[in-house]
Amino acid sequence: MSTLRKKIGEAVRSGCLLEESEENIAVLLAGTSDLSAEEAVAELVDQGCWKELNDRFYRTLSFGTGGMRGRTIGRVVTTAERGSRGVSERPEIPCHGTATMNFYNLNRAIRGFISYLKENLKKSGQSRRPVFVLAHDTRHFSAEFARYCGKVCSELGCDAHLFEGPRSTPELSFALRQLGADGGVVLTASHNPAQDNGFKAYYNDGGQVVDPHATGIMERVNCLVSDHYEPLHESERGTVYYLGKEMDEQYMRRLKKNLLAPELLEGRPAKVVYTNLHGTGGWIVVPMLKNLGFEVVTVAEQDSQDGAFPTVDSPNPENAAALGMAIDLAERIDADAVIGTDPDCDRMGVAVRNGSGDLQLLSGNQIGTLLAWYRIKTYCEKGIITESNRSRATLIKTFVTTDLQSAVARHHGIGVVNTLTGFKYIGEKLRKYEEALPAEKRANYRALEEETTRALRLEYSKFFVFGGEESYGYLGSDFVRDKDGNGSVVMFAELAAFAMKEGKCVTDLLDGLYRQFGFYHELNTHIVLEGAEGAVKIAGLARSYSTHPPSSIDGAEVVEVRDFSQQEIFDEEGDLIPKTGMMMIALADGRRLAIRPSGTEPKIKFYLFGSGDPDPVDLASSKLEVMEGVERLWQALQSDARHRMASLDSQVGETG
């Protein structure tokens, strides 16, 4: 060990290894019970894989907008991690590191979560065991991670309900609420590349953890530097229960409540191609669509629940290429639409036939706007939302989601609330609205039917009509407290049936909104900067925008800058927005943009917005003009970003 430490010290002195990496290597090797960790580090040191070591050890994992995520498979796979597996196979052991997703970090995360829940129960005067619900998707190591969490829960005196096989993230949220559990975990990295996995934590309301709980959990996690713990005596341990078809059936029954006009689907059969992109969606989506009367054809090559996601570069329905095989199949069999969900089935992407008969991909902003418009319109037409209760109806969206949704909602007299990116903030609002009900009215809230809870919210609190993110995440009810790909499929099926009833394409409905409110166009893009070096560049670039925001972009004067990391910003309900590294910039010509580092991926993200006038004489020309303006904005931003990064590099060179 002394020889290894000497080599690591020499690498730090020569500038090959970060001091933080040296410190974190020492912490891991002193705290892990896995003997292969030292073998893996020694092999990387002997081979001079300093970049790999920096990427694995430059930091410790922390909770972002999606919880804790990191690589489970290194760019360099050591012999100790490979084990008996072949080069093309998944390694036997997840990659060792403090910045990677492995059993060491998983142990700390679940133990910190358990500690926090136990303390909270004690503070509230409850002496019972904490209850967890655990789910996992199809990713590498997800099943092993979930079983390990169940084992730790049991040995530390918690009961755990563990899904018997891969299940979607929204079903975890639903099951947590149904079972009255104290916390939940889903092992997933959502739509990230195959080498990643994550630990997504949920609180007792079924929503992702937010402050003060997120900070409280992390304080406990950060106190743990070893994966060693003493299991309780057998008599004090908890029990691991298994969840299966019964919970699936409860969830599916509730999902049907997303339908506002179920009669629309009667006698309107449609042929749909569906792909779960090797993920969990097939458990619910396929039987649900068939139950609703659709002819469903799946992409056979993508039906396999395979964490390598072998048929796609990225299992993300936001990327057109991910739905390529489904679109090709739909063309061959003349299907009416294509639907795809990501591995943990919280996101949904679609392609629909347009007026020319071609399959057209819709953006997340377009899908969300159509669903929001249809649901608001239908609630009003059915007399559920009326003049007397309209002020209590609310649409929730993120700051970086299209302003067209705001225009639609306000046209109908519906309130709009903007939140930070991360569906946990929408879930936090739903918790607020539930807790605003009189105590006697919400005593058995979770057992009540949707119609009853809706009436309660419209009378006493706020009624959530729809929520969404531009990144293909939507929610139309509050019995789930996270974006729901399964529920989104149900809502989209009803929207498509409505279009058929009207003798229109779904794209015709969208053009109708553009003519009424103006053409809105968004471009969501990013710069990828991976590893330890990339993290430094992302932080530096974000800091540069904060300290030196542009005064003009693409010839347009900057008229407003909102720096969410520095300013006190309140939402439409007067709630203080948590500080975060996001900038929002408005230009004099009406265009605007947002810049923020991703909380879950090695990217700095750019969100660009443009819009045209309502009732355009020529919609096609209006679309072209707005899209060209947004594209010019992106070209200008790329040039500016390159200049800023070059400046940062020169500063590093001068100080180095």
CA angle 151, 155, 161 (to 5 degrees): 50
At 584, which amino acid appears?
A: M
Among 301, 293, 341, residue whose Cα is nearest residue 169: 341
| Angle value at C-alpha 272, between 135 and 359, nearest 5 degrees | 115
CB 460 within 8 A of CB 438: yes
Question: What is the rounded CA–CA span in Å between residue 589 and residue 558?
Answer: 9
Give yes or no: 190 in active site: yes
Strand partners, 532: none
Do the strands 159-163 and 240-243 form a parallel or antiparallel pair, or are they unpaired? parallel
DSSP assigned state of 299: -
Cα Rg for the chain, rounded, in angstroms?
25
- Residue pair 392/457 in contact (Cβ under 8 Å)? The answer is yes
Give the strands of the sheet with 131-136, arranged side by side: 68-71, 196-202, 183-187, 131-136, 159-163, 240-243
- H-helix or E-strand spanning residue 431: helix 423-435
Helix (H, G, I), strand (E, B) or coil at 341: strand
Distance CA 553, CA 567 (A): 22
Q: What is the token pair recorded at 460?
A: 């006493």
Residue 334 phi/psi, 5° resolution? Answer: 55, 50
Tell how strand 348-353 and strand 359-361 pair up: antiparallel
Exposure of 534 by Cβ count < 10 A (0-12 exposed, 13-18 middle, 19+ buried)?
Answer: middle
Terminus-to-terminus CA distance in the chain, angstroms?
30
Output DSSP code: residue 216. Answer: H
How many Cα atoms are found within 13 Å in the side-chain-facing hemisphere of 463? 25
Burial label for 12, CB within 10 Å (0-12, 13-18, 19+), is middle
Task: Quote the CA–CA distance of 48 and 41 in Å, as a whole number.
Answer: 10
d(CA 437, CA 424): 21
Catalytic one among 154, 173, 190, 471?
190
Cα dihedral sign, 145-72-109-49: positive
Helix, coil or strand: residue 214? helix
What are the residue numbers of the active site?
190
